[in-house]
A = this chain, B = another copy of it.
Amino acid sequence: MARATLQSSDLCRGLDESAIDQVLNIGKVIHFAAQELIFSQGQKADAVYLPCSGSQLVERSANTGQRQVLAFLRQGDYLGLNTSDQFLYSAHTLEPSHMLRFASHDFYDLASGLPVLRDNVGRISNQVLARALDHLFAIGQKRAHERLAFLLWQLWSRQAASGRSDKITLSMRRTDIGDYLGLTLETTSRAFSRLRSDAVIATQGRNLVQILDESALCALADVK
């Protein structure tokens, strides 16, 4: 599983088999239960993680109890790559997950000897920033149901990269979505209802969303 994750990752794009072996060599697959803490905000940033299976959540919380969810992760994403010496956020799993873990010093030592890997890390940093800017725009400028459309489009387009389907399975709660979008869970729920009644999406159970009108979703999300 670890090898498959690496081979299909942007991180190892352009690396030959032997280089991938070197990367694999310093990593270790760890299993986490659902809702298990991976690391905490403020903790020494001593590791880099690659999700191999399951889904994870990245969040920042304040003394005041407020919480901002920063990202939802899955296979193909990265965790802990762009940190100073302390983690600026916490991460925990949503579903049971396998994560490929690298000790930071091992990882950066290896990267400094593999220019391709090093460049990939830089490229990924840029992607992470680009995503943060999209997120910022959505939260700062859009209305509730548009923000939800933005998230659904994000989730959908990222999973579409693997297998084409008009369905999304949500592994997070409404509260998590709300905290990602800067909304309460009630407003989030109403946003779901609105997209449903506007026939943009349909839902089966709590966690399965079907996209009925892709172009409407894009328009609301203001993408493409």
A residues with a Cβ closer than 8 A to B are 60, 62-64, 66-68, 70, 82-84, 88-89, 112, 115, 121-123, 125-130, 132-133, 135-137, 139-142, 179, 181-182, 222
Contacts and interface: CB of A to CB of B under 8 A. Distances in A.
Nearest to A136: B136
Contact of A129 (B62, B121, B123, B128): B128
B137 A140 contact: no
B136 A70 contact: yes
22 contacts: A63-B222, A67-B141, A68-B137, A70-B133, A82-B126, A84-B123, A84-B126, A84-B127, A84-B130, A88-B133, A122-B125, A125-B125, A125-B126, A125-B129, A128-B129, A129-B129, A132-B132, A132-B136, A136-B139, A139-B140, A139-B182, A140-B182
Given A133-B89, A136-B132, A222-B64, A83 B141 contact: no
Contacts of A112: 115
Contact of A60 (B64, B128, B129, B137): B137
Given A128-B129, A222-B62, A136 B135 contact: yes
B68 A140 contact: yes
Interface centre among A66, A115, A125, A133 (most CB of B within 10 A): A133
A63 B63 CA distance: 37
Contacts of A136: 68, 70, 132, 135-136, 139
Nearest to A127: B84
Given A89-B133, A132-B132, A66 B141 contact: yes
A151 to B, nearest CB: 13
A94 to B, nearest CB: 19
Contact of A137 (B62, B125, B128): B62
Contacts of A128: 129
